[in-house]
């Protein structure tokens, strides 16, 4: 009887990779948000909505700003209802917001409020509501590959713009004076992908184990490590330092992302179609960076990896406004995208390293406020600095300097000591797959 019960518990392991594929479908749909620069450039055309640089970036800023609210609410609901209803609801809300944005058709900024409401507030909330689900769910299915699966879970999001950017440009070209109309078919497509993917979501059964896998133990001893609760983590300076690192990494990277299409055209001479294709290709680096840096950080240590991400972005951003050569511009932008995505691939495992894996989902869920903060800070700053005079040198130089100064934060961040968490949570051993090793 015992062996049959064990077999029943282990049987789902064979199909867990199908759940990964389902999760990627959802992440592809909501990750389309990174193709915004294609729309931003089209909406700024005098024959379209004639938006200023700041107005064109406002919608994207609001979208990213709403992600934390959505993820916080979604995370709370997920604890009670499970992953499927939360992911379904979030994906549908995201698509509905895009569809609503398709009605903001005007030849001036009079309907900017509708664009911000639909794509910014509603889609941003739905995005965050759904985003946290695959990350938490897949770590339960893959305790043996925690670092890898975390990278994959967020890589799908980064790859979302690969297909969306050229498709969006194709749709915009059909009605170039009314680019908002492209949101309608895209919104419908997002809903279909989200519903299909989320329909397969489920948590593993109670007592689920992975055959042949034995948890490894890190170099930290049982007495030197504990599982922090959400409240205990918030009482440590390390939680705020990690959130600051995520915020800064997002701020500098998203500054380029928000202006990618326009910068490619104005600095390196890409045409409209070429700039849209560039945004799609760069999304590959956004997604790939989430896996790449999660892997690299297992060898270099988390803080060293974050230092490299910030440093590389700083150097590249200083050079970008002078990169009139199309190939050089692409290389520099690709490095920035790679490092930007790397922050999302590395930080979930870092939260597990610092505070334990038991409550890592809740602790990292709160850290996503860094994503929203970075999204609120980065795009408006770069838009204001570039201005209508297209002063890319000033804009990217300031952001590049911010990235280099930010190197101080990972340099001073260290693993918390057990007494810093307070409370009475028991000390336990750390489970790691090699990608989750500490700095």
In the predicted model, is pLDDT for residue 44 greater than 70? yes
In the predicted model, is pLDDT for residue 207 greater than 50? yes
| DSSP run (H or E) holding 306 | helix 302-319
- Compute the mean pLDDT over every residue in the chain, rounded to the nearest whole number: 84
Q: Which of 176-190, 302-316, 333-347, 414-428 bottoms out in mean pLDDT, i.e. has the lowest?
A: 414-428
Whether the CA torsion 325, 330, 331, 337 is positive or negative: it is positive
pLDDT of residue 350: 86
**Taking the domains of the chain in order of start, what are their residue ranges?**
13-206+219-421
Q: Which of 50-59, 224-233, 341-350, 372-381 bottoms out in mean pLDDT, i.e. has the lowest?
A: 224-233
Question: Tokens representing 158?
Answer: 């980064």
In the predicted model, is pLDDT for residue 428 greater than 60? no
Binning pLDDT at 50, 70 and 90, where does residue 413 land? very high
pLDDT of residue 429: 36
Q: What percent of the chain clears pLDDT 70, i.e. is strictly above it?
A: 87
In the predicted model, is pLDDT for residue 305 greater than 80? yes
pLDDT of residue 258: 86
Q: Per-residue pLDDT averaged across 135-141, rounded?
A: 80
Binning pLDDT at 50, 70 and 90, where does residue 131 land? confident
- Measured CA to CA, the distance from residue 205 to residue 359 in angstroms comes to 19
Q: Per-residue pLDDT averaged across 33-44, rounded?
A: 85
Q: Per-residue pLDDT averaged across 185-195, rounded?
A: 94
- Measured CA to CA, the distance from residue 292 to residue 302 in angstroms comes to 13
- Measured CA to CA, the distance from residue 341 to residue 34 in angstroms comes to 11
- Measured CA to CA, the distance from residue 57 to residue 42 in angstroms comes to 12
Q: Per-residue pLDDT averaged across 193-205, rounded?
A: 91
pLDDT of residue 360: 62
Most confident of 145-159, 197-211, 260-274, 343-357: 260-274
pLDDT of residue 188: 95
pTM reported for the whole predicted model:
0.75
pLDDT of residue 437: 32
Q: Per-residue pLDDT averaged across 188-197, rounded?
A: 94
Q: What percent of the chain clears pLDDT 90, i.e. is strictly above it?
A: 41
pLDDT of residue 434: 34
Domain range 13-206+219-421, its CATH number among 3.40.50.300, 1.10.3470.10, 1.20.1250.20, 1.10.10.10? 1.20.1250.20
Q: Per-residue pLDDT averaged across 417-437, rounded?
A: 42
Residue in this structure with the two tokens 């897949």, named with its chain if needed: 138
Cα within 13 Å of Cα(78), Cβ side: 30
Q: Per-residue pLDDT averaged across 280-289, rounded?
A: 87
- Measured CA to CA, the distance from residue 91 to residue 21 in angstroms comes to 16
Q: List alpha helices for 46-145, DSSP H.
A: 53-81, 83-101, 112-115, 123-141
pLDDT of residue 303: 95
Of 64, 15, 58, give the one whose Cα is nearest residue 40. 58
Tens of pLDDT along 316-333?
A: 999 999 999 999 999 999
Find the largest Cα–Cα distance for the chain: 76
pLDDT of residue 399: 97
Count of helices and strands (H, E) across the chain: 20, 0
Planar angle of CA 431, 432, 434, nearest 5 degrees: 165
Tens of pLDDT along 80-129?
A: 788 899 999 999 999 999 999 999 888 888 889 999 999 999 999 999 99
């Amino acid at each position: 009887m015992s062996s049959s019960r064990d077999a029943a518990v282990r049987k789902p392991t064979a199909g867990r990779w199908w759940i990964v594929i389902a999760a990627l479908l959802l992440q592809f749909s909501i990750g389309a948000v990174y193709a915004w620069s294609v729309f931003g450039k089209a909406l700024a055309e005098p024959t379209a909505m004639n938006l200023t640089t700041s107005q064109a970036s406002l919608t994207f800023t609001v979208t990213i700003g709403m992600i934390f609210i959505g993820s916080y609410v979604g995370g709370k609901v997920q604890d009670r209802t499970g992953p499927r209803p939360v992911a379904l609801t979030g994906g549908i809300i995201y698509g509905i917001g895009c569809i609503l944005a398709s009605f903001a058709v005007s030849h001036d900024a009079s309907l900017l409020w509708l664009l911000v409401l639909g794509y910014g507030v509603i889609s941003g909330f739905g995005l965050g509501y759904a985003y946290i689900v695959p990350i938490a769910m897949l770590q339960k299915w893959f305790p043996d590959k925690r670092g890898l699966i975390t990278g994959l879970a967020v890589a799908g999001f980064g790859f979302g713009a690969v297909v969306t950017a050229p498709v969006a440009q194709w749709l915009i070209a059909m009605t170039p004076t009314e680019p908002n109309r492209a949101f309608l078919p895209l919104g419908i497509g997002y809903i279909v992908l989200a519903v299909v993917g989320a329909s397969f979501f489920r948590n593993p059964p109670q007592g689920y184990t992975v055959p042949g896998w034995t948890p490894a133990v890190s170099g930290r001893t049982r007495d030197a490590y504990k599982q922090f609760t959400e409240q205990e983590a918030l009482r440590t300076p390390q939680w705020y330092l990690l959130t600051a690192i995520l915020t800064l990494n997002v701020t500098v990277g998203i500054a380029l992302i928000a202006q990618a299409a326009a910068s490619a055209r104005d600095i390196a001479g890409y045409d409209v179609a070429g700039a849209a294709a560039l945004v799609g290709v760069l999304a590959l680096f956004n997604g790939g960076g989430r896996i790449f840096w999660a892997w690299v950080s297992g060898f270099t240590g988390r803080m060293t990896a974050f230092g490299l991400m910030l440093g590389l972005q700083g150097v590249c951003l200083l050079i970008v406004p002078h990169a009139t050569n199309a190939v050089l511009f692409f290389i520099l932008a690709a490095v920035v995208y790679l490092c930007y995505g790397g922050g999302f691939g590395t930080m979930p495992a870092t939260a597990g390293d610092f505070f334990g894996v038991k409550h890592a989902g809740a602790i990292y869920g709160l850290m996503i406020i860094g994503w929203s903060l970075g999204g609120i800070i980065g795009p408006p700053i770069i838009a204001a600095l570039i201005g209508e005079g297209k002063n890319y040198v000033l804009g990217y130089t300031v952001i590049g300097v911010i990235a280099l100064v930010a190197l101080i934060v990972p340099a001073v961040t260290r693993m918390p000591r057990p007494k810093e968490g307070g409370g009475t949570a028991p000390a336990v051993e750390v489970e790691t797959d090699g990608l989750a090793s500490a700095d």
